[in-house]
Amino acid sequence: MRLPLVTNAERRNRLGRRHRLAPSARAADVPQVADAVIALHATDASTVFLSARARLSEGEASVIERALYEDVSLVRLLSMRNTLFAVSTELAPYVDSSTARAIATKERRTLLKHLQEDGQGLDADWLARAESATLDALDTRGPSTGSQLSAAVPDLRQKITVFRGKKYETETGVATRVIRLLAADGRIRRDRPRGSWTSSQYRWVHTEPWPAMPPAEARAELARRWLHSYGPATEADLKWWTGWTLTDTRKALAAVGPDEVRLEDGSTALVGPGDFGPEPAPEPWAALLPALDPSAMGWADRGFHLDPAHRAALFDYAGNIGPTVWWNGEIVGGWAQLPDGRIVHRLLADPGRSAGKAIAAEAERLGSWLGDSRITPRFRTPLERELAAG
Protein backbone atom coordinates (compact mmCIF):
# COMPACT_ATOMS: atom_id res chain seq x y z
CA MET A 1 0.00 0.00 0.00
CA ARG A 2 1.36 3.38 -1.04
CA LEU A 3 1.93 5.79 1.83
CA PRO A 4 -0.16 9.00 1.94
CA LEU A 5 1.65 12.06 0.56
CA VAL A 6 1.92 15.25 2.63
CA THR A 7 3.23 18.08 0.47
CA ASN A 8 5.38 20.98 1.65
CA ALA A 9 2.42 23.27 1.07
CA GLU A 10 0.28 21.14 3.38
CA ARG A 11 3.05 21.15 6.01
CA ARG A 12 3.08 24.95 5.86
CA ASN A 13 -0.73 24.98 6.10
CA ARG A 14 -0.48 22.89 9.26
CA LEU A 15 2.07 25.30 10.66
CA GLY A 16 -0.19 28.31 10.04
CA ARG A 17 -3.22 26.68 11.64
CA ARG A 18 -1.78 24.49 14.37
CA HIS A 19 0.84 27.00 15.51
CA ARG A 20 -1.92 29.62 15.56
CA LEU A 21 -0.09 32.04 13.29
CA ALA A 22 -2.84 32.61 10.72
CA PRO A 23 -5.16 35.38 12.01
CA SER A 24 -8.21 33.10 11.98
CA ALA A 25 -6.32 30.56 14.13
CA ARG A 26 -5.03 32.91 16.81
CA ALA A 27 -5.59 31.89 20.41
CA ALA A 28 -7.84 33.43 23.02
CA ASP A 29 -5.40 32.99 25.93
CA VAL A 30 -1.75 32.37 26.70
CA PRO A 31 -1.97 28.67 27.74
CA GLN A 32 -3.61 27.92 24.38
CA VAL A 33 -0.63 29.52 22.67
CA ALA A 34 1.89 27.47 24.64
CA ASP A 35 0.00 24.21 24.13
CA ALA A 36 -0.26 24.83 20.38
CA VAL A 37 3.52 24.68 20.07
CA ILE A 38 4.02 22.50 23.21
CA ALA A 39 6.42 24.99 24.79
CA LEU A 40 7.70 28.53 24.28
CA HIS A 41 11.44 29.10 24.37
CA ALA A 42 12.26 31.10 27.49
CA THR A 43 16.06 31.44 27.50
CA ASP A 44 15.54 35.01 26.34
CA ALA A 45 12.85 36.67 28.44
CA SER A 46 11.39 38.60 25.51
CA THR A 47 10.92 35.48 23.36
CA VAL A 48 8.05 34.21 25.51
CA PHE A 49 6.22 37.49 25.12
CA LEU A 50 6.86 37.99 21.41
CA SER A 51 6.01 34.38 20.54
CA ALA A 52 2.76 34.66 22.48
CA ARG A 53 1.94 38.06 20.98
CA ALA A 54 2.18 36.71 17.45
CA ARG A 55 -0.39 34.01 18.27
CA LEU A 56 -2.89 35.83 20.47
CA SER A 57 -6.05 37.30 19.01
CA GLU A 58 -5.51 40.31 21.28
CA GLY A 59 -3.70 41.30 24.44
CA GLU A 60 -0.85 43.48 25.66
CA ALA A 61 2.26 42.33 27.51
CA SER A 62 0.30 42.57 30.76
CA VAL A 63 -1.90 39.66 29.62
CA ILE A 64 1.18 37.44 29.32
CA GLU A 65 2.57 38.71 32.64
CA ARG A 66 -0.71 37.80 34.30
CA ALA A 67 -0.46 34.24 32.97
CA LEU A 68 3.10 33.92 34.28
CA TYR A 69 2.85 35.63 37.65
CA GLU A 70 -0.78 35.98 38.78
CA ASP A 71 -2.82 33.12 37.29
CA VAL A 72 0.36 31.01 37.05
CA SER A 73 -1.17 29.25 34.05
CA LEU A 74 2.22 29.41 32.34
CA VAL A 75 5.48 28.37 34.04
CA ARG A 76 9.14 28.23 33.09
CA LEU A 77 10.87 24.84 33.34
CA LEU A 78 14.42 23.74 32.60
CA SER A 79 13.53 20.90 30.27
CA MET A 80 13.98 19.92 26.62
CA ARG A 81 17.65 19.98 25.55
CA ASN A 82 18.53 21.37 29.00
CA THR A 83 16.92 24.63 27.87
CA LEU A 84 14.46 26.92 29.62
CA PHE A 85 10.92 26.70 28.24
CA ALA A 86 7.55 28.11 29.27
CA VAL A 87 4.72 25.58 29.31
CA SER A 88 1.11 25.55 30.46
CA THR A 89 0.48 24.26 33.96
CA GLU A 90 -1.66 21.52 32.40
CA LEU A 91 1.32 20.20 30.45
CA ALA A 92 3.98 20.97 33.08
CA PRO A 93 3.74 17.63 34.95
CA TYR A 94 4.32 15.75 31.68
CA VAL A 95 7.32 17.92 30.76
CA ASP A 96 8.65 17.59 34.30
CA SER A 97 8.40 13.79 34.45
CA SER A 98 9.47 13.15 30.83
CA THR A 99 12.45 15.48 30.75
CA ALA A 100 13.06 17.87 33.64
CA ARG A 101 13.50 15.19 36.35
CA ALA A 102 16.44 13.62 34.54
CA ILE A 103 18.04 17.04 34.09
CA ALA A 104 17.59 17.88 37.77
CA THR A 105 19.22 14.57 38.78
CA LYS A 106 22.20 15.29 36.56
CA GLU A 107 22.48 18.88 37.85
CA ARG A 108 22.54 17.64 41.46
CA ARG A 109 25.13 14.97 40.69
CA THR A 110 27.38 17.53 38.97
CA LEU A 111 27.16 20.04 41.83
CA LEU A 112 27.89 17.39 44.46
CA LYS A 113 30.93 16.31 42.45
CA HIS A 114 32.21 19.90 42.35
CA LEU A 115 31.64 20.30 46.09
CA GLN A 116 33.59 17.12 46.80
CA GLU A 117 36.45 18.09 44.50
CA ASP A 118 36.71 21.51 46.16
CA GLY A 119 37.98 19.89 49.36
CA GLN A 120 36.25 22.17 51.89
CA GLY A 121 34.14 19.40 53.36
CA LEU A 122 30.97 20.53 51.59
CA ASP A 123 28.76 17.53 50.92
CA ALA A 124 25.16 16.40 50.38
CA ASP A 125 24.25 17.29 53.98
CA TRP A 126 25.65 20.79 53.55
CA LEU A 127 23.75 21.19 50.28
CA ALA A 128 20.51 20.04 51.92
CA ARG A 129 20.98 22.63 54.70
CA ALA A 130 21.71 25.38 52.16
CA GLU A 131 18.60 24.49 50.17
CA SER A 132 16.43 24.39 53.29
CA ALA A 133 17.75 27.78 54.44
CA THR A 134 17.02 29.24 51.00
CA LEU A 135 13.43 28.00 51.11
CA ASP A 136 13.04 29.37 54.65
CA ALA A 137 14.32 32.75 53.45
CA LEU A 138 11.75 32.80 50.65
CA ASP A 139 8.98 31.91 53.11
CA THR A 140 10.09 34.79 55.33
CA ARG A 141 10.96 37.41 52.73
CA GLY A 142 8.57 36.55 49.94
CA PRO A 143 9.66 36.88 46.29
CA SER A 144 13.41 37.56 46.20
CA THR A 145 16.21 37.84 43.67
CA GLY A 146 19.33 35.71 43.81
CA SER A 147 21.27 38.64 45.26
CA GLN A 148 18.69 39.14 47.99
CA LEU A 149 18.77 35.44 48.84
CA SER A 150 22.58 35.48 49.03
CA ALA A 151 22.40 38.38 51.46
CA ALA A 152 19.90 36.47 53.62
CA VAL A 153 21.51 33.00 53.50
CA PRO A 154 25.21 32.83 54.51
CA ASP A 155 25.72 29.43 52.84
CA LEU A 156 24.85 30.97 49.48
CA ARG A 157 27.88 33.24 49.80
CA GLN A 158 30.18 30.22 49.82
CA LYS A 159 32.73 30.02 46.99
CA ILE A 160 34.23 26.87 45.53
CA THR A 161 36.99 26.11 43.04
CA VAL A 162 35.92 24.02 40.07
CA PHE A 163 38.18 22.11 37.68
CA ARG A 164 40.98 22.40 40.22
CA GLY A 165 44.42 21.83 38.72
CA LYS A 166 43.28 22.38 35.15
CA LYS A 167 44.14 25.38 33.00
CA TYR A 168 40.50 26.50 33.15
CA GLU A 169 40.36 26.24 36.97
CA THR A 170 38.09 28.96 38.36
CA GLU A 171 36.52 30.11 41.61
CA THR A 172 32.77 30.46 41.55
CA GLY A 173 29.96 31.19 43.97
CA VAL A 174 27.40 28.49 44.78
CA ALA A 175 24.34 30.75 44.95
CA THR A 176 23.44 30.46 41.27
CA ARG A 177 24.05 26.70 41.33
CA VAL A 178 21.90 26.09 44.41
CA ILE A 179 19.07 28.27 43.10
CA ARG A 180 19.23 26.56 39.70
CA LEU A 181 19.03 23.18 41.42
CA LEU A 182 16.01 24.19 43.50
CA ALA A 183 14.31 25.42 40.33
CA ALA A 184 15.16 22.23 38.44
CA ASP A 185 13.62 20.23 41.30
CA GLY A 186 10.45 22.30 41.07
CA ARG A 187 10.78 23.66 44.61
CA ILE A 188 11.06 27.28 43.49
CA ARG A 189 9.90 29.07 40.36
CA ARG A 190 10.65 32.32 38.60
CA ASP A 191 8.39 35.22 39.57
CA ARG A 192 8.22 38.80 38.31
CA PRO A 193 11.61 40.16 37.29
CA ARG A 194 13.10 43.38 38.50
CA GLY A 195 12.32 45.91 35.81
CA SER A 196 10.11 45.31 32.79
CA TRP A 197 8.98 42.12 31.07
CA THR A 198 12.17 42.17 28.97
CA SER A 199 14.34 41.58 32.06
CA SER A 200 15.81 38.21 33.08
CA GLN A 201 16.64 39.27 36.64
CA TYR A 202 13.86 37.20 38.17
CA ARG A 203 12.58 37.06 41.68
CA TRP A 204 12.05 33.56 43.08
CA VAL A 205 9.15 32.11 45.06
CA HIS A 206 8.77 28.88 47.04
CA THR A 207 6.44 26.41 45.35
CA GLU A 208 5.46 22.74 45.41
CA PRO A 209 7.04 20.22 43.01
CA TRP A 210 4.92 18.90 40.16
CA PRO A 211 3.06 15.64 40.79
CA ALA A 212 5.13 12.66 39.71
CA MET A 213 4.02 10.31 36.95
CA PRO A 214 5.71 7.40 35.19
CA PRO A 215 8.38 8.90 32.87
CA ALA A 216 7.46 6.57 30.00
CA GLU A 217 3.82 7.65 30.21
CA ALA A 218 4.86 11.31 30.27
CA ARG A 219 7.18 10.89 27.28
CA ALA A 220 4.43 9.21 25.28
CA GLU A 221 2.02 12.06 25.97
CA LEU A 222 4.62 14.66 25.03
CA ALA A 223 5.43 12.76 21.82
CA ARG A 224 1.73 12.52 20.93
CA ARG A 225 1.24 16.26 21.34
CA TRP A 226 4.46 17.04 19.52
CA LEU A 227 3.42 14.96 16.51
CA HIS A 228 0.13 16.85 16.30
CA SER A 229 1.90 20.22 16.39
CA TYR A 230 5.01 19.40 14.34
CA GLY A 231 4.16 16.37 12.23
CA PRO A 232 5.03 15.25 9.66
CA ALA A 233 8.38 14.87 11.39
CA THR A 234 10.99 12.22 11.94
CA GLU A 235 12.31 10.20 14.83
CA ALA A 236 15.50 12.28 14.53
CA ASP A 237 13.46 15.50 14.81
CA LEU A 238 11.79 14.35 18.03
CA LYS A 239 15.06 13.12 19.53
CA TRP A 240 16.71 16.47 18.73
CA TRP A 241 13.78 18.54 20.01
CA THR A 242 13.44 16.72 23.32
CA GLY A 243 17.05 15.81 24.02
CA TRP A 244 15.93 12.26 24.90
CA THR A 245 18.03 9.18 24.24
CA LEU A 246 17.30 7.29 21.04
CA THR A 247 15.87 4.42 23.11
CA ASP A 248 13.45 6.70 24.99
CA THR A 249 12.46 8.42 21.76
CA ARG A 250 11.66 5.15 20.05
CA LYS A 251 9.70 3.82 23.04
CA ALA A 252 7.64 7.03 23.21
CA LEU A 253 6.81 6.83 19.52
CA ALA A 254 5.94 3.16 19.80
CA ALA A 255 3.50 3.99 22.59
CA VAL A 256 1.82 6.60 20.39
CA GLY A 257 1.60 4.38 17.31
CA PRO A 258 2.14 7.06 14.65
CA ASP A 259 1.36 6.66 10.96
CA GLU A 260 3.99 6.99 8.25
CA VAL A 261 3.63 9.39 5.34
CA ARG A 262 5.62 10.35 2.25
CA LEU A 263 7.16 13.77 1.81
CA GLU A 264 7.80 15.64 -1.42
CA ASP A 265 11.50 14.80 -1.45
CA GLY A 266 10.71 11.08 -1.42
CA SER A 267 11.60 10.55 2.25
CA THR A 268 9.17 9.36 4.92
CA ALA A 269 8.03 10.97 8.16
CA LEU A 270 5.61 10.40 11.02
CA VAL A 271 2.24 11.89 11.94
CA GLY A 272 -0.16 11.18 14.76
CA PRO A 273 -2.47 8.17 14.27
CA GLY A 274 -4.79 8.93 11.36
CA ASP A 275 -3.50 12.48 11.00
CA PHE A 276 -2.62 12.39 7.31
CA GLY A 277 -5.63 14.02 5.66
CA PRO A 278 -5.27 17.19 3.56
CA GLU A 279 -4.79 20.37 5.57
CA PRO A 280 -6.90 23.23 4.15
CA ALA A 281 -4.97 26.39 3.44
CA PRO A 282 -5.66 29.22 5.88
CA GLU A 283 -6.00 32.77 4.65
CA PRO A 284 -2.71 34.44 3.60
CA TRP A 285 -0.71 35.38 6.68
CA ALA A 286 2.44 37.22 7.67
CA ALA A 287 4.29 36.97 10.96
CA LEU A 288 7.33 38.53 12.59
CA LEU A 289 8.59 35.95 15.06
CA PRO A 290 11.32 36.42 17.67
CA ALA A 291 14.64 34.68 18.02
CA LEU A 292 14.24 31.00 19.02
CA ASP A 293 10.53 30.97 18.22
CA PRO A 294 9.14 27.40 18.36
CA SER A 295 7.94 27.47 14.75
CA ALA A 296 11.54 27.94 13.63
CA MET A 297 13.05 25.55 16.19
CA GLY A 298 10.70 22.57 16.06
CA TRP A 299 12.67 20.33 13.71
CA ALA A 300 16.26 19.29 13.13
CA ASP A 301 15.48 19.48 9.38
CA ARG A 302 13.60 22.68 8.48
CA GLY A 303 13.90 22.49 4.71
CA PHE A 304 10.15 22.68 4.10
CA HIS A 305 9.95 26.24 5.46
CA LEU A 306 13.53 27.54 5.30
CA ASP A 307 15.74 27.95 2.24
CA PRO A 308 19.21 26.66 3.25
CA ALA A 309 20.72 29.69 1.50
CA HIS A 310 19.24 31.91 4.24
CA ARG A 311 20.81 30.12 7.19
CA ALA A 312 24.02 32.16 7.25
CA ALA A 313 22.10 35.41 7.72
CA LEU A 314 19.49 34.13 10.17
CA PHE A 315 21.48 31.87 12.53
CA ASP A 316 24.29 32.57 14.97
CA TYR A 317 27.45 30.45 15.19
CA ALA A 318 25.83 28.05 17.70
CA GLY A 319 22.78 27.31 15.57
CA ASN A 320 20.32 29.69 17.27
CA ILE A 321 17.89 31.31 14.88
CA GLY A 322 17.29 35.05 15.14
CA PRO A 323 14.16 37.15 14.49
CA THR A 324 12.40 35.95 11.34
CA VAL A 325 9.85 37.21 8.83
CA TRP A 326 7.29 34.65 7.63
CA TRP A 327 4.88 34.52 4.73
CA ASN A 328 2.39 31.66 4.47
CA GLY A 329 4.55 29.27 6.44
CA GLU A 330 7.92 30.09 4.90
CA ILE A 331 10.76 32.12 6.36
CA VAL A 332 11.40 34.90 3.86
CA GLY A 333 13.54 37.36 5.85
CA GLY A 334 14.57 38.79 9.19
CA TRP A 335 13.83 41.82 11.34
CA ALA A 336 15.25 43.96 14.11
CA GLN A 337 14.31 46.91 16.30
CA LEU A 338 16.15 50.21 15.98
CA PRO A 339 17.13 52.24 19.07
CA ASP A 340 14.22 54.61 18.38
CA GLY A 341 11.79 51.69 18.51
CA ARG A 342 11.07 51.30 14.80
CA ILE A 343 10.85 47.78 13.39
CA VAL A 344 12.93 47.23 10.27
CA HIS A 345 13.04 44.11 8.15
CA ARG A 346 14.73 42.70 5.09
CA LEU A 347 13.32 40.10 2.74
CA LEU A 348 15.73 37.41 1.57
CA ALA A 349 13.26 36.18 -1.03
CA ASP A 350 10.60 37.90 -3.12
CA PRO A 351 7.20 36.67 -1.92
CA GLY A 352 5.32 39.16 -4.10
CA ARG A 353 3.76 42.59 -3.77
CA SER A 354 0.76 41.62 -1.65
CA ALA A 355 3.04 39.73 0.71
CA GLY A 356 5.29 42.76 1.04
CA LYS A 357 2.34 44.91 2.07
CA ALA A 358 1.12 42.35 4.59
CA ILE A 359 4.60 41.99 6.09
CA ALA A 360 4.95 45.77 6.38
CA ALA A 361 1.58 45.94 8.14
CA GLU A 362 2.65 43.20 10.56
CA ALA A 363 5.88 45.08 11.29
CA GLU A 364 3.81 48.15 12.11
CA ARG A 365 1.55 46.07 14.37
CA LEU A 366 4.56 44.71 16.23
CA GLY A 367 6.06 48.17 16.66
CA SER A 368 2.80 49.47 18.06
CA TRP A 369 2.56 46.54 20.47
CA LEU A 370 6.11 47.09 21.73
CA GLY A 371 5.58 50.79 22.36
CA ASP A 372 8.45 52.07 24.51
CA SER A 373 9.93 48.60 25.08
CA ARG A 374 13.26 47.80 23.46
CA ILE A 375 14.31 44.30 22.38
CA THR A 376 17.85 43.02 21.85
CA PRO A 377 17.99 39.25 21.29
CA ARG A 378 20.36 37.37 23.57
CA PHE A 379 21.62 35.38 20.58
CA ARG A 380 22.44 37.86 17.85
CA THR A 381 22.63 36.87 14.21
CA PRO A 382 24.38 38.56 11.28
CA LEU A 383 21.20 39.96 9.71
CA GLU A 384 19.74 41.16 13.03
CA ARG A 385 22.98 42.96 13.91
CA GLU A 386 23.15 44.59 10.51
CA LEU A 387 19.54 45.77 10.61
CA ALA A 388 19.77 47.02 14.20
CA ALA A 389 22.82 49.11 13.31
CA GLY A 390 20.70 51.02 10.81
Is the residue at 280 inside a domain?
no
Is the residue at 156 inside a domain?
yes
Domain containing 317: what range? 306-388
User: Domain end: 192, 218, 246, which one?
Assistant: 192
pLDDT digits (tens, 9 = 90+) for 169-196: 788 889 999 999 999 999 999 999 998 9
Number of domains observed in the structure of the chain? 2
Task: Say what the pLDDT of residue 168 is.
Answer: 76
Is the residue at 207 inside a domain?
no
Cis peptide before 232 (omega within 30 of 0): yes
Is the residue at 199 inside a domain?
no
Say if pTM beats, i.e. exceeds, 0.85.
yes
Mean pLDDT of 290-309: 94
- 266 burial (CB, 10 Å; 0-12 / 13-18 / 19+) is exposed
At 262, is the secondary structure helix, strand, or coil? strand
Task: Say what the pLDDT of residue 339 is.
Answer: 94
Task: Say what the pLDDT of residue 76 is.
Answer: 97
Is the residue at 347 inside a domain?
yes
Q: For residue 195, how many other CB atoms are within 10 A of its CB? A: 10
The CA-atom distances, in angstroms, between 207 and each of 95, 136, 183, 235 are 17, 12, 9, 35
User: Domain end: 140, 164, 192, which one?
Assistant: 192
What average pLDDT does the chain have? 95
User: Domain end: 145, 173, 192, which one?
Assistant: 192
Where residue 164 falls among pLDDT bands split at 50, 70, 90? Answer: confident
Task: Give every CB contact of residue 318 below 8 A, 6+ residues apart in sequence.
Answer: 379
pLDDT digits (tens, 9 = 90+) for 236-269: 999 999 999 999 999 999 999 999 999 999 999 9
Containing 147, the helix (H) or strand (E) segment is helix 146-152
Task: Say what the pLDDT of residue 196 is.
Answer: 94
Task: Say what the pLDDT of residue 120 is.
Answer: 84
Is the residue at 133 inside a domain?
yes
